[in-house]
Structure 1
Amino acid sequence: MGTELLKNAAVGTLVAATLAGGVIALLPRAPEPPRPAPGPAARAVAAAAAGAPATAAELTALIGERERWLRSRPEDEESWAVLGTAYAQRAAAFADWAALPRAESALQRSLKALPAAEGNTEALLGLSALAHARQDHMSARAFAEQALKQRPRRWTVHRALLDAYRGIGDYKSVGTTLEKLTALYSGPQSRALAARIYRERGWREDAAATAYDAAAAAEGPMERAAALVLLGDLAWDRGEPAEAAGSYDAALKLVPGHPGALAARARALAALDRTDEAFRDYQAAQRGRAVPEYALEEAELYESLGANEEAEAAYERVLASAAQAAAGGVNQELLLGRYEADHGDPQEAVRRLTEEWERGRHSMAAADALGWALLRAGRAKEALPYARRAMKESPRDPLFSYHRGEIERALGRYGAARRNIGQALRVNPHFSPLLAPRARAAMAALGDPPTGGPGRTAGTVIREGRSGTAGSGSMGVRQGAGSG
């Protein structure tokens, strides 16, 4: 079976992926294909047929097979699209940023052989995947929308649109696109994607049920490992680090060295006070890769333990990793904005994040980051609408709850601050090695609610509402959105 699948792929299958989930999808074949021997490339194609993620070795084998094929058939536009999208996936899934220019070159060769306007859907999907890997979500949406006009019933087109809408923060379109996708394809990858979206929106019970379905239906090791990582993430969200670590352990048994599982397990181990093991996993997750998000988590763990010298070295790795990713064309403004807000220059954070917002990046993460940067820059009144927007889209995210609570505390809205900071700690008391202790200190400083029952408390809220600040003119955020 693997030989036959590779046979089909060798003449013009496309890896049409959405990189957030690491999915490759098989596309139509051309006549008279060769019959290479089965091996890692065949397994990559088998995974592609199911829309499942492939391992680094499988992607490397598929890339090598396509490059060999194209040396003698340079006008095969579909194979150029396969090659380009595989390079883009390898970059996004394994932080191989040097693969991004190669992806772009291959996709442009595909378009030269068959322009997009003449029906090169495969190259359009590859370009959308490449733009998503670079966190250029507006371009990702434009390419996916072009592909949709050509192939409206291909489920991977809707998958590409979903990833773009999530990056932009168009959550109404996320919902409608997910419905269309699941109507076209109900396999395990569709369920895994739905579970991730439910998790983002705070629908934890739905997310858990759907994630278990995806795990049960998963077949290949990489696909099953991805489902186990998702189940671990959901346990982490519930504040259950031991259960989360167990899921990550199982994923790593299937795919040793899985970078996402290593970093996630490090988070859980730190919450269990197994810090030596946590640092081991953070270092393994970054070995041979420039992943600034992992370096930032590691640095904050060092700082929380008072290991200032090690923290400083790790913060330097954050900037070096971000620069390396940016050299491959990856937009690092959100990551750098978060870094500057907490560990650098808050004014610089506001500048970076405001520019991102004005470019159209209105995701819940972007709203939370900008609100927090504004608070850190001493502009709490302007920060509140962004914090409200983030929590409207994801009301159970403990980081968003904590950030909003601190903004409200700065504005003298002590009842709302107590409610939101308390919620962060109830949802996950381990949500951040640096910020969770600060959240507990803030709750102690806020003290108990006023006595006198609901009437007195309601009066306090009304007074806070009159003195509150909806942040007029705050770059398009709906006033009062998600005020809770």
Structure 2
Amino acid sequence: MRTFFAGLVLLGAMIFTIASFSAAPSAAPPATAAARPLETLQERLKRLPRDHRGWAELASQYVDQARVTGDPSYYVKAEGAARTAAGLAPDDDAVLTARAALAAGRHEFAEAARLAGRAVAANPYSAAAHGVLADARTQLGDLKGAARAVDRMLELQPGVAAFVRASYAAELRGDQEGARRYLEYAHEDAWLPADLAYVRHYLGELALHAGDLATARSWYARALQADPSFTPALAGQARASALGGDLRQALDLYQRVVTRLPLPQYLVEQGEVQIEAGLRPDWTLLDAQRRLLAAAGVGDDLTAAEFEADHRDPERAVRYARAEYARHPNLVAADALAWALFRAGEPEEALKYAERATATGWNNPLIRYHRARIERALGRPARVDPGFDPSLPSLARLS
């Protein structure tokens, strides 16, 4: 899923740094580093230790650094800054929004939605708060609530952050053209290099999952032209190379990716390409990174469930997937549970969750493949896309 989110990442987590804490948000991630350098903000807080918005801004910067660097220790720093801000002004909308962003970064989406809802109540004109609320509700499976938050964002500040979220909402409904159109709006609105890189990367992702590798490569290259440090676009190039059959180039690119940003998603992708190339993957770094994330308070049962189902222990995958779906009953979690159950030999129960994962018309090739495999196992007619490569499942997951 496109959040932090997926990893974080989304990943999904489509959480943006709130540079000014005004009613208007800064741009979508990872576009916005704060207006002042991190050191300058820290120095200012030494002079003005009761500046609650400064502490909230620092917390958001640390959340952004955790996403950009893959270093989960920044979440611990963010927690300290957010706690200080909350101690000074617990009901301020900027403080609540920063705390919500931190919760989302740690995959605590129910808490993120609660805090973002409080921020919206405190300041209904805060597009930043509506953005975090939209992300959290998406992860909780409340697509209607997320759509309302996105619509409000579009009313308040129809810019990059709102357009990107509107694009993802359209994609989850199966509206590929709408998703592309909103990203094109975002591209027209973007001017910061990191904003341009971010939007171009997701235009590449749309093309990749439509099977248009040439267009995907073009967008990834343009993203890196805008911001050579934007690692997700480099990962996109690696995916396109792997799916196009150039495994040597893909492995070279993945090595650069994981050296820069050793997120679990990228490490799994690298390992799958190694398997495809006839090499033996080493999951040591993946296991270590998962432990580091857990120690920093980042819960990621979703990635663990997907990995265990595809590469290790389906029974363990079911446990992870049930835990994830219980907390965050979204489309991706439903698919993860369906696939884990299928791999564990429970196709009848699996089908129930596969149907939930495909209920909105989301045109995700991996989710369609999983449902088709489950239906075939139950003796039902189902078409498997002949162009889909089941040996590289993590490459088909949205980042």
Instruction: Settle same-fold status: TM greater than 0.5.
Output: yes
Cα distance in 1 between the residues matched to 2:21 and 2:284: 46
Q: Give the counterpart of 2:212 among 240, 264, 268.
A: 240
Cα distance in 2 between the residues matched to 1:284 and 1:197: 31
Q: Give the counterpart of 1:171 among 143, 146, 157.
A: 143
Cα distance in 2 between the residues matched to 1:395 and 1:110: 39
Cα distance in 2 between the residues matched to 1:103 and 1:340: 30
- 1:292 match: 264
Q: Which amino acid is 1:409 matched to?
A: R
How high is the sequence identity, in percent, across the aligned residues?
Answer: 31
- 1:24 match: 17
Report SS of the residue matched to 2:299. coil
- 2:346 match: 379
Relative to structure 1, is the Cα distance of residues 176 and 249 closer, same or farther in structure 2, using a 3 angstrom cutoff?
same
The question of whether the paired residues in 1 share the 8 Å contact of 2:314 and 2:344 is answered with yes
- 2:238 match: 266
- 1:349 match: 317
Aligned-pair distance for 1:356?
A: 2.2
Q: Give the counterpart of 1:363 among 330, 336, 339.
A: 330
Relative to structure 1, is the Cα distance of residues 336 and 237 closer, same or farther in structure 2, using a 3 angstrom cutoff?
same
Cα distance in 2 between the residues matched to 1:290 and 1:201: 31
- 1:390 match: 357
Task: Return 5+ residue gaps in structure 1 as ranges.
Answer: 1-17, 30-47, 437-484
- 1:320 match: 288
Cα distance in 2 between the residues matched to 1:385 and 1:64: 51
- 1:202 match: 174
1:68-93 alpha-carbon deviations (Å, 9 max, x no partner): 11112211111111101110122123
Cα distance in 2 between the residues matched to 1:59 and 1:376: 45
TM-score computed with the length of structure 2 as normaliser: 0.90
Aligned-pair distance for 1:199?
A: 2.3
Cα distance in 1 between the residues matched to 2:241 and 2:34: 30
Does structure 1 residue 411 correspond to structure 2 residue 386?
no
- 2:297 match: 329
Q: Which amino acid is 1:405 matched to?
A: A
Q: Give the counterpart of 2:278 among 292, 303, 306.
A: 306
Relative to structure 1, is the Cα distance of residues 96 and 332 closer, same or farther in structure 2, using a 3 angstrom cutoff?
same
Aligned-pair distance for 1:54?
A: 5.5
CA RMSD after TM alignment: 2.2
Does structure 1 residue 251 correspond to structure 2 residue 223?
yes
Cα distance in 1 between the residues matched to 2:321 and 2:328: 9
Relative to structure 1, is the Cα distance of residues 122 and 435 closer, same or farther in structure 2, using a 3 angstrom cutoff?
closer
Relative to structure 1, is the Cα distance of residues 332 and 255 closer, same or farther in structure 2, using a 3 angstrom cutoff?
same
Relative to structure 1, is the Cα distance of residues 295 and 60 closer, same or farther in structure 2, using a 3 angstrom cutoff?
farther
Cα distance in 1 between the residues matched to 2:234 and 2:46: 38
The question of whether the paired residues in 1 share the 8 Å contact of 2:18 and 2:57 is answered with no
Task: Return 5+ residue gaps in structure 2 as ranges.
Answer: 1-10, 395-399
Cα distance in 1 between the residues matched to 2:135 and 2:158: 18
- 1:41 match: none
The question of whether the paired residues in 2 share the 8 Å contact of 1:271 and 1:433 is answered with no
Relative to structure 1, is the Cα distance of residues 28 and 299 closer, same or farther in structure 2, using a 3 angstrom cutoff?
closer
1:168-209 alpha-carbon deviations (Å, 9 max, x no partner): 111121222222221122123321221122223321111112
TM-score computed with the length of structure 1 as normaliser: 0.75
Relative to structure 1, is the Cα distance of residues 66 and 394 closer, same or farther in structure 2, using a 3 angstrom cutoff?
farther
Q: Once superposed, which parts of structure 1, at least 4 consecutive aligned residues long, lie more than 3 Å away? A: 25-29, 52-56, 58-61, 430-436
Relative to structure 1, is the Cα distance of residues 290 and 434 closer, same or farther in structure 2, using a 3 angstrom cutoff?
closer
Relative to structure 1, is the Cα distance of residues 169 and 431 closer, same or farther in structure 2, using a 3 angstrom cutoff?
farther
Residue range with higher mean Cα deviation, 284-293 or 64-73: 284-293
The question of whether the paired residues in 1 share the 8 Å contact of 2:60 and 2:78 is answered with yes
Relative to structure 1, is the Cα distance of residues 51 and 435 closer, same or farther in structure 2, using a 3 angstrom cutoff?
closer
Does structure 1 residue 226 correspond to structure 2 residue 198?
yes
Report SS of the residue matched to 1:393. coil
- 2:247 match: 275
The question of whether the paired residues in 2 share the 8 Å contact of 1:97 and 1:324 is answered with yes
Higher RCO structure (Cα 8 Å, ≥6 apart): 2
Q: Which amino acid is 2:295 matched to?
A: A
- 2:27 match: 51
Does structure 1 residue 90 correspond to structure 2 residue 48?
no
Q: Which amino acid is 1:73 matched to?
A: L
Cα distance in 2 between the residues matched to 1:287 and 1:61: 28
- 1:452 match: none
1:310-337 alpha-carbon deviations (Å, 9 max, x no partner): x2x1x33222221122222111211111
- 1:70 match: 45
Aligned-pair distance for 1:25?
A: 3.3
Q: Give the counterpart of 2:76 among 72, 86, 101.
A: 101
Relative to structure 1, is the Cα distance of residues 430 and 259 closer, same or farther in structure 2, using a 3 angstrom cutoff?
farther
